[in-house]
Amino acid sequence: HIPRVHVCIGVNRNATNSSHKAKVSGLSNRMAEPGNPSGVAVEEEDHTECIGEIGDHQTIASQLMKNPGVLAALQDKLCASSPSYIQSLPKEVKRRIKALKKLQNEVINAEAQFYKEVNTLELKYIPLYSQLFEKRKDILIGKKEPTDEECEWPSDDEDDKEKDEVVKLAGELKEKATVEGVKEAGGDSANQPEVRGVPKFWLTIFKSVGMLADMVQEHDEPILAHLQDIQVVVHDKEHVGFTLEFYFEPNEFFTDTVLTKRYEMRYEPDPQDPFSYEGPEIIKCVGCTINWNKGKNVTVKQIKKKQKHKGRGLTRTVTKQVQADSFFNFFNPPTVQDGSESEMDEESEALLGADFEIGHFIRERIIPRAVLFFTGEAMDSEEYDEEDNEEAEDDEYEDDNDPDGNPEV
């Protein structure tokens, strides 16, 4: 099974919180009266007459199922998803349900068309996004120094003036200390290296965002310090989806300047399971080969094992190469065979599902809001969202444990 990761494009009208699932309870208290333990509201004289005339339990059940009151009671009693409940419905009701399912399929097809048109609109704005992201890249790598006008942006700090004075004083003290230190060392302050752009911009983001921080190992950091930009290329023709492009400056670790990760998407409902459709979903991803310099591949490690000969008792040491934890394993995901019906093992399925989520997160959150993740402002927003979800789950838990609570319909 290929894990499904539904993506949010534009307005996702299917977005729901799991904490708001409808709860179905048993019969209402008013139906469970003394002398009627079954809770089914049937008049006694009608029931007796039925038994006297027919005397057949199966026929009685059939007659009861035609009673609207009995049907309403059973609908409250049984979960609508229960196969036994659906099978127990009268023939004419089952027929109407088929019509409702056909209408539901038309609704799903309309939703698929909606998402396609949203994607078309998104493609229209790609040139504008690209221009803005190119300007961002130029500032990050020090290719362009922003003007005073471009740096005009209000601070969120209420004590801006006081803070500016403190920063100014600290800067003067630091500059004085630096100059004195250079003089003591017999050097010249003019020869000190100049800081260009925003050093380790993307590395800082990766280490700050939970799902990415888990991937970054200590030996990855010197490599990711050379990451200059991340771009997304959207494909709307063959292999519909998107490609993440990671741009690196020349470095000692590999010869590549761009590493890519391509994600294929499906906008149409699955013909085999149309009612599972919740919007566009990622169905496949393909990485790239990294041309590592000799001895610099951080995705593998050498381990030594001692082997003892059973007969002679001699011991030898064998060196074996195994996979090592690294962010760069991201470019070597589990493979999915086209048209393959073979089952994936649980570990590969979990890795692929996480990979889909990470790719979607980088595209939809990291790339568009990079500076906010760098400053931590986007992280604060993410934390608030998580807290809101937790509070909603707590509220639902309290409702479920309230014996006097009324069931949701």
Q: Which residues contact 327 (CB under 8 A, 6 or more apart)?
A: 206, 212, 215, 216, 217, 220, 224
Q: What is the pLDDT of residues 206-262, one digit of tens each?
A: 999 999 999 999 999 999 999 999 999 998 877 789 999 999 999 999 999 999 999
Q: What is the pLDDT of residues 265-298, one digit of tens each?
A: 988 888 888 898 888 888 899 999 999 999 999 9
Rounded to 5°, the CA angle 69-72-78 comes to 135
Question: How high is the pLDDT of residue 267?
Answer: 87
- The residue among 288 and 55 whose pLDDT is bigger is 288
Cβ neighbour number for residue 260 with a 10 Å cutoff? 15
Domains of the chain: 5-10+99-150+160-189+196-396 (3.30.1120.90)
**pLDDT band with cut points at 50, 70 and 90 for residue 79:** low
How far is 139 from 240, CA to CA, in rounded Å?
A: 32
Q: Which of 19-28, 39-48, 88-97, 296-305 has the lowest mean pLDDT?
A: 19-28
Question: How high is the pLDDT of residue 373?
Answer: 96
Axis crossing angle, helix 57-65 with helix 44-53, rounded to the nearest 10 = 140
Question: How high is the pLDDT of residue 32?
Answer: 37
Question: How high is the pLDDT of residue 279?
Answer: 87
Question: How high is the pLDDT of residue 187?
Answer: 53
Kindly tell me the burial class for residue 331, based on how many C-beta atoms sit within 10 Å of its own C-beta (0-12, 13-18, 19 or more): buried
Q: Which of 166-175, 244-253, 282-291, 321-330 has the lowest mean pLDDT?
A: 166-175
Asked if 381 and 365 count as a contact pair (C-beta separation under 8 A), the reply is no
Asked if 237 and 231 count as a contact pair (C-beta separation under 8 A), the reply is no
Asked if 331 and 223 count as a contact pair (C-beta separation under 8 A), the reply is no
Closest listed residue to residue 240, CA positions, set 1, 3, 9, 2: 9
Task: Say whether pTM exceeds 0.85.
Answer: no
